[in-house]
Structure 1
Amino acid sequence: MSSSASQQQNQQQPKRPLFTRFLDSVEYLGNLLPHPITLFAIFCVAILVLSGIAGYFELSVMDPRPEGAKGRAADGMIHVVSLFNAEGLQLIVTNLVKNFVGFAPLGTVLVAMLGVAIAEHSGMLSAAMRGMVMGASKRMVTVTVVFAGIISNTASELGYVVLIPLAAMLFHSLGRHPLAGLAAAFAGVSGGYSANLLIGTVDPLLSGITETAAQMIDPTYTVGPEANWYFMFVSTFFISITGAFVTEKIVEPKLGKYHDEEASEDLSNDKMGKLTAVEKKGLKFAGVAVLVVSALLAWTIVPADGVLRSANGTVSGSPFLKSIVAFIFVFFAIPGFVYGKIVGTMKNDRDVINAMATSMSSMGMYIVLVFFAAQFVAFFKWTNFGQVIAVGGASFLQDVGLTGPMLFFAFILMCGFINLMIGSASAQWAVTAPIFVPMLMLVGYAPETIQAAYRIGDSTTNIITPMMSYFGLILAVATRYMKNLGIGTLIATMLPYSICFMFGWSILFYLWVFVFGLPVGPGAATFYTP
């Protein structure tokens, strides 16, 4: 082919839109990153080498804590401690197991998942979700789908596996575009990942990491799983309403009218599975069990002499709040077993044990990730890198005058950007918390408030990053209804949700924290004072 012919052919090819090229770049750069587990292993090695270099040059900063404070050096300086020597090797090998088993999120998440497993494997969660979505009126179906997606986060991957395909089928059966249903459910499940009416498995996971990071500044500081509950409870309704608005006013009109010819397979059997009589009966008895459990829990904390109140009779710092993970287990396990007993999916203790064992077998990847993440967090703490970076960063923020709302807006945007590359909430927070929690504490903000801001940034970009673990599954479901759909189309469909969630949720955070001065959770402080 001649050069003139080649040039003519290139001129005939339409130039790809700038946004599409940007999405391709994000996907390409994200694919260059190794697996999160490998990433943490690399970080561990990097910390060792960098600590050796910093220790050789005696890198240090002025300790901002008052004289006599616990952990403050006699010379008033914070020095980087080298692990790249004999003492460092001894410290590492003698604490390898301790770092792993003592990692705060490990036990809490596993215990919570045991209870959720019973409710999930009995079929209760799936039936409740189907009943909620299919029982909604046509006028309320969109907001119900988004709301159900948010609530599904208490049960790990259930929303991705069950609700998103279900929502696409529901919209198709109603004569609406199935991708609009898929997008609405995806926005609730993933874009509203941190919002919920209940305290779920993500709460103890993040709070454990936050607590470890906060103890770099204050060794006695504790962060409970309920730390962000107030803010996330209200956020559930905000995300539901915003998600429904974006679906009906932006996404669905853009998608236009759907034609079955666009599908990659025959959709004639694309029917919704309605609840059977026995499933409805099971849900009713499970609902009664929920009320009974809730009443018993209320009896332990509501009365002034409640057995799970603190020694001085207050709720703050009480055994009740410190035992949230145990209550998550009970709250899901008992109703789940009652439902399973009614519908026949759980006949005896062996079925319950098998459900819990199956759930634990699926946590293998998480346990491996925790092993390496725990080592990284421990190394980072031992070297004092977190404190040195925090003090330097806090001084910089004070020098440039970046404080208050603008500081948190920048932090939320940064977390959202990092999430495009590291799709795991725990993996990202394990890396960033040891830096930003101490830094923002030194500027004057409480770890609970910092964690709430992080959760906004982490959640809002989940739906537009190919690095999110379930993105491939969502794409596969979408191509069922549009055979020529590509990854760019799916991301472009979800981008309006991401923008509206990021902007609106940040405004809600601003009003909550800086205008009304409300606590983000029970007993949670907004500002930190040493």
Structure 2
Amino acid sequence: MANAKQITPSARKRGLFARFLDMVEVVGNKLPHPATIFVLFSVIVAIISHIAAVAGVSVEFNKVDTTTKEVALTTVQAVSLLNADGIRYMFSKAVANFTGFAPLGTVLVAMLGVGVAEGTGLIQALLRKLVLSTPKRLITLVVVFAGVMSNVASDAGYVVLVPLGAIIFLSFGRHPLAGLAAAFAGVSGGFSANLLIGTIDPLLGGISTEAAKLVSTGYTVAPTANWYFMIVSTFLIMILGTLVTEKIVEPRLGEYKGSEKVDLHDLTAAEKKGLNAALISMIIFVVAIVALVAPANGILRNPADGTILGHSPFMDGLVPIIMLFFLIPGITYGGFAGTIKNDKDVASAMGKAMASMGSYLVLAFAAAQFVAYFGYTNLGTILAVKGATFLKATGMTGFPLIIGFIIVSAFINLFIGSASAKWAIMAPVFIPMLMQLGYSPEFTQVAYRIGDSTTNIISPLMSYFAVIVAFAQKYDKETGIGTLISTMVPYSIIFLLGWTIMLVIWSALGLPIGPGAEMYLPGM
């Protein structure tokens, strides 16, 4: 990726926006190593938390309990990290913060399988087949679309598709970081779009239901409440992501001059044999998983209520399923293609995959402390409530209020990564307020999801942000937080504008946003 030293005079002639991105990158990359930055952020959080705690900063608000789904008046005070309790917390929870960091286990476990698939040559062979059979003009569209669709599998896209996007672009002779950016934009920037109902839909719907009951006791927001809008959003994000990648991001990156290469020779007979065997093993594995999930009493369904989405063995076990999805075909391919001889070769491939994650572990430790400190001090919650209160106090109505709500949601998303945690705070404020103006809870939830998705890709507080930086450094050792943010800012801006315009048009046409879910309350 172009770093501060590679920005040419011609690049600076591309206009004000290009110069702004250059400035973000230069300033960001003059900062220390990303791990050091997270340490500095932690120090800043500690200082601010102490000042806020001494000043007695607190907020009172209605909040939906994500476990019991009850709405209760909650008071949250700023908590200092620099008093006796805070210092004890920093020392005693350092290891727990690291081992409990959500992306850590996800990345490492999934990489065991991916490492074998890569080490045996399966991924390289698949990519060569893809390059030889896919029109070049469609590849960006496919990468972004795959990223959007991956959020059905929760966080799997961050671990699998983002690095794969880079490899796919490199296979086509394009800049690998453009592929990484396109996949990241689809996975994270398009988090709320999908053709299918994902894990986040019933979670947000449950919170919205409880917030709506503050006004109408019998109101229910279904998991499918935003489905129609999100189906169309999938194609919107796919098109916008493709345009931003090809018209803004890739031209700015220029030609890739790094050392990473992909061999594009034709497949050998052994490789073709290995691919066929790997495909058969993959089909058998998928059929086995379906057999454990599809029946009403399936072993991987929730034993209590028979559901699949939410907390079921299937959803909770998605990471090891992903690992096996790559591991089994990888071993099968290696056996038939002759790239592995015994179990020692498999273990060696896993070891190499873990060794390549060393820099990520350093980064993850620092990022985990920062994210944990932000939660412990309650600064994120206080910012969210203050932002919601400010918007409510402006007295705006109609679509100016909706647009303001989307912008506030996008801003708060920079500080609280969890979609459900933010919505648990914001729903009891905005759903009743907008119901009084005639807007349905389903519509308010849609507006929130637009803001919640679009700034994921530029927030260092997003738990997988450190993972993406580590993936990018494989292709450019100089890549830092500034480089990644400057690359993703165009996606964030265009997605926010495009999605908001789509919502305005949707409203003007009076279209339903989901099965049985209208934009306005009956009689309004």
- Given candidates 38, 54, 57, the residue that maps to 1:56 is 54
Are residues 123 and 145 of structure 1, via their aligned partners in 2, closer, same or farther at CA, if it must alter by over 3 Å? farther
Alignment RMSD (CA, Å): 5.3
Deviations 1:291-336 (A, max 9, x none): 1111111111111121222222222332212221121111111111
Summarize the alignment of residues 433-512 of structure 1 with structure 2, pairs less than 5 Å apart: 439-443=425-429, 453-459=451-457, 503-504=497-498
Are residues 344 and 510 of structure 1, via their aligned partners in 2, closer, same or farther at CA, if it must alter by over 3 Å? farther
Kept in 2: contact 1:195–1:235 (CA 8 A): no
Structure 1 CA distance for aligned equivalents of residues 25 and 357 of structure 2 = 27
Consecutive unaligned residues of structure 2, counting only runs of 5 or more, are 1-11, 148-156, 192-197, 212-225, 432-441, 461-467, 478-482, 516-524
The yes-or-no answer on 1:331 pairing with 2:325 is yes
Structure 2 CA distance for aligned equivalents of residues 36 and 281 of structure 1 = 43
Secondary structure of 2:93 counterpart: helix
Structure-1-length-normalised TM-score = 0.63
- Residue type of the alignment partner of 1:165: L
Structure 2 CA distance for aligned equivalents of residues 496 and 93 of structure 1 = 39
Deviation of 1:340 (Å): 1.5
Deviation of 1:17 (Å): 5.2
- Residue type of the alignment partner of 1:163: I
Summarize the alignment of residues 30-109 of structure 1 with structure 2, pairs less than 5 Å apart: 30-65=28-63, 77-109=75-107
Q: Which residue of 2 aligns with 1:307?
A: 299
Are residues 278 and 511 of structure 1, via their aligned partners in 2, closer, same or farther at CA, if it must alter by over 3 Å? farther
Q: Which residue of 1 aligns with 2:275?
A: 283
Deviation of 1:122 (Å): 1.8
Secondary structure of 1:192 counterpart: helix
Are residues 512 and 19 of structure 1, via their aligned partners in 2, closer, same or farther at CA, if it must alter by over 3 Å? closer
Are residues 158 and 429 of structure 1, via their aligned partners in 2, closer, same or farther at CA, if it must alter by over 3 Å? same
Structure 2 CA distance for aligned equivalents of residues 386 and 394 of structure 1 = 12
Deviates more, 1:402-411 or 1:34-43: 402-411
- Residue type of the alignment partner of 2:283: L
Are residues 451 and 39 of structure 1, via their aligned partners in 2, closer, same or farther at CA, if it must alter by over 3 Å? farther
Are residues 16 and 313 of structure 1, via their aligned partners in 2, closer, same or farther at CA, if it must alter by over 3 Å? closer
Summarize the alignment of residues 265-414 of structure 1 with structure 2, pairs less than 5 Å apart: 272-310=264-302, 311-317=304-310, 318-400=312-394, 401=396, 404=402, 406-408=404-406, 411-412=409-410
Secondary structure of 1:64 counterpart: strand
Deviation of 1:239 (Å): 5.4
Kept in 2: contact 1:293–1:331 (CA 8 A): yes
Kept in 2: contact 1:143–1:244 (CA 8 A): no
Kept in 2: contact 1:380–1:434 (CA 8 A): no
Structure 2 CA distance for aligned equivalents of residues 35 and 84 of structure 1 = 25
Are residues 289 and 230 of structure 1, via their aligned partners in 2, closer, same or farther at CA, if it must alter by over 3 Å? farther
- Residue type of the alignment partner of 1:155: V
Structure 2 CA distance for aligned equivalents of residues 342 and 123 of structure 1 = 11
Kept in 2: contact 1:59–1:79 (CA 8 A): yes
Q: Which residue of 2 aligns with 1:528?
A: none
Deviates more, 1:293-302 or 1:375-384: 375-384
Structure 2 CA distance for aligned equivalents of residues 448 and 39 of structure 1 = 34
**Identity percentage over the alignment?**
36
Secondary structure of 1:316 counterpart: coil
Deviation of 1:83 (Å): 2.7
Kept in 1: contact 2:190–2:454 (CA 8 A): no
Deviations 1:77-130 (A, max 9, x none): 322222322222223222222222222332222212212222222221222122
Kept in 2: contact 1:163–1:185 (CA 8 A): yes
Q: Which residue of 2 aligns with 1:164?
A: 169
Q: Which residue of 1 aligns with 2:136?
A: 141
Structure 2 CA distance for aligned equivalents of residues 348 and 403 of structure 1 = 63
Deviation of 1:157 (Å): 6.4
Kept in 2: contact 1:51–1:81 (CA 8 A): yes
Are residues 328 and 278 of structure 1, via their aligned partners in 2, closer, same or farther at CA, if it must alter by over 3 Å? same
- Residue type of the alignment partner of 1:28: V
Deviations 1:332-364 (A, max 9, x none): 111111112111222221121111111111222
Structure 2 CA distance for aligned equivalents of residues 319 and 185 of structure 1 = 33
Structure-2-length-normalised TM-score = 0.64
Kept in 1: contact 2:64–2:428 (CA 8 A): no
Summarize the alignment of residues 221-236 of structure 1 with structure 2, pairs less than 5 Å apart: none
Deviations 1:422-478 (A, max 9, x none): xxxxxx876x9799566544545899976775444445999xxxx9667788799xx
Kept in 1: contact 2:140–2:179 (CA 8 A): yes
Structure 2 CA distance for aligned equivalents of residues 145 and 23 of structure 1 = 22
Deviation of 1:508 (Å): 6.6
Structure 1 CA distance for aligned equivalents of residues 61 and 279 of structure 2 = 54
Kept in 2: contact 1:192–1:236 (CA 8 A): no
